[in-house]
Chain A
């Protein structure tokens, strides 16, 4: 039982961004994907959701080392798109609604992935409540602030009730309070058995909350493991350069301070 990527090669238009990445997410695990711009974080997130076809430098590469994603033992390519969506929820970095959606409508779109009939408003309000956005229910998405909008979108993907959740930069544009709140929500979901992947640029948030970190660099995994294992001076400076100071919180979690 896990979301597993084997020798993942994925990219855009024949250009492979990921070059043979192995990945594993257990149910109940909160995993953060880290790395500099262009390292392949979003590409890995998309590939795990089956949104990118395998790309390779040559067909021979694909034949010798087939790139695949399995969810609880089932090959993603063998699942129907709907069955896949019921198991893996994905939230892209930004979305572009073509019209002005109401908050409740936007969240309901997520709830519909599970329900065959019109879902109860209960699912929608529970998801909104989880991200502290119930009061926004009747507003329109394009009237909200950036942070409010991110929270509503998170509610929309939570309403989908997937077994695994992949979030691309969910903390972008959130204030400190809501960043912490978001990770609290995710932690609660993990405790209830959900597996969560968070792509983030915020190394410290990741170090405080994640069970496991995956550090990507140029399409490959540079380091992987608990925050204490990944936050090692040599590893971090080989990826991010050396202009930082590595400290530790009283709880023993690493903290990075730029200098």
Chain B
């Protein structure tokens, strides 16, 4: 089997292992295997408190997996389409825009719009709007790093927007949202991951379907066009997919950085540039990485007590230096 094939198989296995073993570990010690079989076979009325804990873990693992997979795929396709290895939902400000949109709806819920769907749609509008804006700004600036500078600018703007919403919103409601604001994959029921599933699965399947065209586009735009790729269409669809993945994820789990930056870089070393292997491998690897990161975050013990750290804090702490490392490597090259 080729190197790309092996990378795909290994990331698929990593994904399966993360989903199966993820719920077995956590800060509270329970007899996980027994609770797992009880959760799978017994009716809810016969569950003990430990079964409920197990279900919380399953929900959390599934949500983390989808969010991590979605963010990694969004990062991979943005890097290809924008021809920049540092382009990710976070560095371009797309995730901040989505967070702002979702936060706006969640903090000031109008009765007719107070749902995760409402938050996702608002996040989507903001994310796609900011993507359009960042592309327009980058085109006008004519600089190599114009794209990233435009992203930094949008990050500031939407960061200010988030602070404004925080200032104006009801403090009680904010307290309830604190963990979302910090980026957390907490979930109460597996259906929460189920609700996110179509928003992740459809764009990922779409990206795999257009993987041949993405390969050509990654090589050279003019050559791709001469080789029969409808460059505008593929760019448009790819950016839409990245926007949907980012918006749906941040609306549900808040800001979680770094997955969309590092996973595509690591996976590309194994799969090469074939998107047919790259996109699914990024999905499985991104998913398992966030499951593991969340497991680490919720099991960490800080100052002798269990931290239950929102995973967004951990990924931001690790992601910052990694971004800097890639940036320096890029400017040396």
Could you tell me if A112 and B212 are in contact, using CB atoms closer than 8 angstroms? yes
CA distance A102 to B270 in the complex (A): 12
CB distance from B232 to the nearest CB of A (A): 11
The answer to whether A2 has its CB under 8 Å from any CB of chain B is: no
CB distance from B213 to the nearest CB of A (A): 10
B side interface size, CB within 8 A: 24
The answer to whether A160 has its CB under 8 Å from any CB of chain B is: yes
A 208-231 to B, binary, CB cutoff 8 A, 1 in contact else 0? 000000000000000000000000
Q: Which of A82-90, A126-134, A169-177, A240-248 contacts B (4 or more CB under 8 A)?
A: A82-90
CB distance from B1 to the nearest CB of A (A): 13
CB distance from A37 to the nearest CB of B (A): 19
Could you tell me if B223 and A92 are in contact, using CB atoms closer than 8 angstroms? yes
CB distance from B333 to the nearest CB of A (A): 9
The answer to whether A234 has its CB under 8 Å from any CB of chain B is: no
CA distance A88 to B226 in the complex (A): 8
A 135-152 to B, binary, CB cutoff 8 A, 1 in contact else 0? 000000000000000000
B 220-236 to A, binary, CB cutoff 8 A, 1 in contact else 0? 11110111111000000
For B79, what are the chain A residues with a Cβ–Cβ distance below 8 Å? 98-99
The answer to whether A250 has its CB under 8 Å from any CB of chain B is: no
Q: Which of B179-233 contact A (CB under 8 A)?
A: 212, 215-216, 218-223, 225-230
The answer to whether B320 has its CB under 8 Å from any CB of chain A is: no
Which one, A80, A89, A101, A112, contacts B226 given CB within 8 A?
Answer: A89
Could you tell me if B219 and A97 are in contact, using CB atoms closer than 8 angstroms? yes
Contact flag A99-B85 (CB < 8 Å), given A113-B228, A160-B227: yes
Could you tell me if B268 and A99 are in contact, using CB atoms closer than 8 angstroms? yes
The answer to whether B272 has its CB under 8 Å from any CB of chain A is: yes
Could you tell me if B272 and A95 are in contact, using CB atoms closer than 8 angstroms? no
The answer to whether A16 has its CB under 8 Å from any CB of chain B is: no
The answer to whether B239 has its CB under 8 Å from any CB of chain A is: no
CA distance A160 to B273 in the complex (A): 19
Could you tell me if A98 and B80 are in contact, using CB atoms closer than 8 angstroms? yes
CA distance A223 to B228 in the complex (A): 32
A100 nearest CB neighbor, chain B only: B273
Could you tell me if B220 and A96 are in contact, using CB atoms closer than 8 angstroms? yes
B225 nearest CB neighbor, chain A only: A51
CA distance A89 to B227 in the complex (A): 7
The answer to whether A105 has its CB under 8 Å from any CB of chain B is: yes
Could you tell me if A82 and B80 are in contact, using CB atoms closer than 8 angstroms? no
Contact flag A109-B222 (CB < 8 Å), given A81-B229, A84-B228, A99-B268: no
Could you tell me if B219 and A101 are in contact, using CB atoms closer than 8 angstroms? yes
12 A–B contact pairs at CB < 8 A? A51-B222, A91-B223, A92-B222, A95-B219, A95-B220, A95-B222, A99-B79, A99-B80, A105-B273, A109-B216, A109-B219, A160-B227
5 more A-B residue pairs beyond the given contacts A51-B225, A109-B215, with a C-beta to C-beta distance below 8 A: A49-B226, A85-B227, A92-B220, A98-B84, A101-B219
Residues of A near any B CB (own CB < 8 A):
49, 51, 80-86, 88-92, 95-99, 101-102, 105-106, 109-110, 112-113, 160
Residues of B near any A CB (own CB < 8 A):
79-80, 83-85, 212, 215-216, 218-223, 225-230, 268, 272-274
